[in-house]
């Protein structure tokens, strides 16, 4: 028996690994080059249960909980970061915000569609003037009888070019500061919703991103997620789980880079011996393996606590901080170990290196994670 994971999750781990190797690995290069994940791959991921893995069966999920979600994400991360990003933006962030905020009527309307990927979701919090300081967002929601009229803009929204629905955050009572923030589900066809062109990014090609513009966009009040004024807490509670998923992704991506580095170090010979014979290379590999092991245990610990109903704000921040920084170091070491080939488009290492860079920025920068960790410690003092 595995001391950390129960048998059903070991089975899940194996089946996701097989699916990823068979169905997604052959597409990894094409996704990078065309900057698009084929709809058939999204359908295959849905068929494999990857959009619903962590959500309860009652809402159309697979019922494996947060730990199961992390185990699956770790495997999904092995071939191209964009495969996970589409899941993380859709059922991860958008679906979790609906699950966290409710009410049941909204959950019933949208979760089964999101968790089966019949609809793709996006989570729209960031604005041009409100990134790390998300509580100062300026998008405004004005109540007009049975509707809200929303005006403003969102930026860097993962999945926006392909999403069918969006959880957006707008302030319905600006005089109350972040306590006026309210969440809504907005369908793509909403009058007044405009989606900008695809952003051109350093990496994560295949996972599309765009701006949103709300031009007096009308949203029925029945599309509200949670109560008026609850939006910021829903946003932050959702990010606790988003950060955990990103940490799991980072562990899987780093593990794959480590395996490739070990293989290359064993087979690449210079000065008449494999480069693995050099302590300089051994230390890079040893440090990478040690940090990945620690990050993985942090992920499993935080996820297990979440499944037991504990609030994981600080642990999710620690885990996201350490796992994404680990991925950055491991990706850098992988390029170094692969030498000139590590820098060439011919190999996937340079793509993984570019893809890794965003992990320390989105879903809260490393600096914001440190603020969250410190706030928890100082509040308890």
Residues that bind ligand CAA (CB under 6 A): 89, 93, 123, 125-126, 132-135, 156, 158, 178, 232-233, 236-237, 239-240, 313, 362-364, 368, 371-372
Smallest gap from residue 364 Cβ to ligand CAA (A): 3
Q: Give 298's Cβ-side CA count (13 Å radius).
A: 27
Q: How far is the CB of 141 from ligand CAA (least distance, A)?
A: 18
Are the C-beta atoms of 335 and 350 separated by less than 8 Å? yes
Considering the complex, what minimum distance in angstroms separates the CB of residue 246 from ligand CAA? 8
Query: 63 vs 135, which CB is nearer to ligand CAA?
Result: 135
CB of 140 to ligand CAA, least distance (A): 18
SS3 content of the chain, % helix, strand, coil (to 5): 60, 15, 25
111 vs 160 by CB, closer to ligand CAA: 160
DSSP labels, 23-34: IIGGGHHHHHHH
311-317: long-range contacts at Cβ-Cβ below 8 A with a sequence spacing of 24 or more? Answer: 311/240, 312/240, 312/244, 313/236, 313/240, 313/372, 313/376, 314/372, 314/373, 314/376, 314/377, 316/239, 316/240, 316/241, 316/243, 316/244, 316/247, 317/243, 317/364, 317/369, 317/370, 317/372, 317/373, 317/376
Q: Is the peptide bond before 103 cis (omega within 30 degrees of 0)?
A: yes
Q: Is 363 a catalytic residue?
A: yes
Cβ neighbours of residue 99 under 8 Å, at least 6 residues apart? Answer: 55, 59, 107, 111
Q: Would strands 193-195 and 181-187 be described as parallel, antiparallel, or unpaired?
A: unpaired
- Closer to ligand CAA by Cβ: residue 192 or 229: 229
Q: Which is nearer to ligand CAA, 132 or 270 (CB)?
A: 132
185 or 275: CB nearest ligand CAA: 185
Q: Which is nearer to ligand CAA, 110 or 241 (CB)?
A: 241
The single residue of 127, 291, 350, 363 carrying the catalytic annotation is: 363
For residue 353, the minimal CB distance to ligand CAA (Å) is: 20
User: How many residues does the structure list for the chain?
Assistant: 381
State the number of CA atoms in the 13 A half-sphere of 265 facing the CB.
Answer: 22
What's the CA gap between 51 and 209, in Å, rounded?
A: 19
Residue nearest to ligand CAA (CB): 364
The CA angle 166-240-68, to the nearest 5 degrees, is: 90
Give the nearest distance from C-beta 178 to ligand CAA in angstroms.
Answer: 5
Name the residues annotated as catalytic: 363
């Amino acid at each position: 028996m595995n001391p950390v994971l129960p048998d059903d999750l070991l089975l899940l781990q194996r089946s996701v690994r097989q699916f990823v190797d068979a169905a997604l690995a052959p597409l990894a290069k094409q996704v990078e080059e065309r900057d698009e994940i084929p709809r058939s791959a999204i359908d295959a991921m849905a068929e494999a249960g990857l959009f619903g893995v962590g959500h309860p069966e009652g809402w159309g999920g697979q019922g494996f909980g947060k730990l199961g979600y992390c185990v699956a994400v770790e495997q999904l991360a092995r071939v191209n970061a964009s495969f996970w990003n589409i899941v993380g933006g859709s059922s991860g962030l958008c679906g979790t915000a609906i699950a966290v905020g409710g009410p049941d009527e909204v959950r019933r309307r949208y979760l089964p569609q999101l968790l089966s990927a019949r609809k793709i979701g996006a989570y729209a919090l960031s604005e041009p003037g409100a990134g790390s300081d998300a509580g100062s967002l300026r998008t405004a929601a004005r109540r007009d009888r049975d509707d809200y009229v929303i005006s403003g803009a969102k930026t860097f929204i993962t999945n926006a070019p392909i999403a069918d629905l969006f959880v957006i955050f707008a302030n319905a009572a600006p005089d109350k500061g972040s306590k006026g923030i309210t969440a809504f589900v907005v369908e793509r066809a909403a009058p007044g919703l405009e989606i900008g062109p695809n952003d051109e990014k350093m990496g994560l090609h295949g996972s599309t991103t765009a701006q949103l513009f709300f031009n007096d966009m009308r949203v029925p009040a029945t599309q509200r997620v949670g109560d008026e004024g609850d939006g910021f807490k829903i946003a932050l509670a959702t990010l606790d789980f988003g950060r955990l998923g990103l940490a799991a992704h980072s562990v899987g991506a780093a593990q794959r880079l480590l395996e490739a580095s070990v293989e290359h170090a064993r087979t690449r010979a210079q000065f008449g011996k494999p480069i693995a014979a050099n302590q300089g290379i051994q230390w890079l590999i040893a440090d990478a393996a040690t940090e990945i092991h620690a990050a993985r245990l942090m992920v499993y610990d935080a996820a297990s606590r979440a499944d037991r109903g504990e609030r994981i704000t600080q642990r999710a921040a620690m885990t996201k901080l350490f796992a994404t920084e680990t991925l950055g170091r491991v990706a850098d070491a992988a390029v170094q170990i692969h030498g000139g080939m590590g820098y060439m488009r011919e190999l996937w290492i340079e793509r993984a290196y570019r893809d890794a860079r965003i992990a320390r920025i989105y879903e809260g920068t490393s600096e914001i994670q440190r603020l969250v960790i410190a706030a928890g410690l100082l509040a308890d003092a």
